[in-house]
């Protein structure tokens, strides 16, 4: 009986490892929203880390998180570090490319709960009646992340936060 249980456990672990190995080596999650405001108005909340905190979904998850801003107030080199509760973790972002009022690219480094080095970006495209804003994150998928993705959907997990943040950005920009 113990051998059967051990074999069943070994088979389950092997199945998880095989499924993990089949996961892609990188990921990308993105969400879009149309905001009834011109790109120049929307952009003021994208290239300034202090203004980004006004609509960030993670601010609501830990209003007491410690925040540190460094570099210029906005644009390339503007940086924001955070240290929060277990929902938020700790990390740092730094703007590496800014094309006013179209694009912001940043390095996004997570320290905890799990180390990760990703690229995040905001893209603003003029559309009839306003701006389409795309918020995306991409990065490598180390093996431990691939194992986690066997049990959870990263797109749904991160995507719902992006959707909430973009909805809050829309509210701010349309005032």
Q: Which residues of the chain have pLDDT under 50?
A: none
Q: What is the pLDDT of residue 16?
A: 74
- What are the structural domains, with CATH classification, of the chain? 2-173 (3.30.530.20)
User: Dihedral of the CA atoms 75, 63, 112, 22 (nearest 10)?
Assistant: -80
| 76/73 Cα distance (integer angstroms) | 9
Contact by Cβ (8 Å): 76, 98 = yes
The pTM of the full predicted model, rounded to 2 decimals, is 0.86
* Mean model confidence pLDDT for the chain: 92
| pLDDT confidence of residue 8 | 83
Report pLDDT for 146: 75
Can you give the pLDDT at residue 52?
A: 94
Tokens of 33: 């929203």
């Amino acid at each position: 009986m113990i051998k059967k249980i051990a074999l069943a456990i070994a088979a389950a672990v092997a199945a998880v490892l095989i499924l993990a190995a089949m996961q892609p080596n990188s990921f990308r999650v993105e969400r879009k929203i149309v905001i009834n405001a011109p790109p120049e108005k929307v952009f003021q909340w994208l290239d300034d880390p202090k203004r980004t905190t006004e609509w960030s979904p993670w601010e609501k998850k830990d209003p007491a998180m410690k925040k540190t801003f460094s570099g210029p107030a906005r644009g390339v080199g503007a940086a924001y570090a955070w240290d929060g509760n277990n929902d938020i973790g700790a990390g740092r972002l730094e703007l590496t490319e800014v094309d006013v009022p179209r694009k912001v690219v940043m390095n996004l480094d997570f320290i905890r709960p799990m180390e990760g080095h990703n690229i995040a970006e905001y893209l603003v495209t003029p559309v009839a009646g306003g701006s389409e804003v795309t918020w995306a994150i991409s990065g490598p998928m180390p093996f431990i992340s691939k194992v986690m993705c066997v049990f959870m959907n990263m797109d749904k997990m991160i995507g719902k936060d992006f959707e909430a943040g973009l909805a809050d950005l829309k509210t701010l920009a349309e005032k």
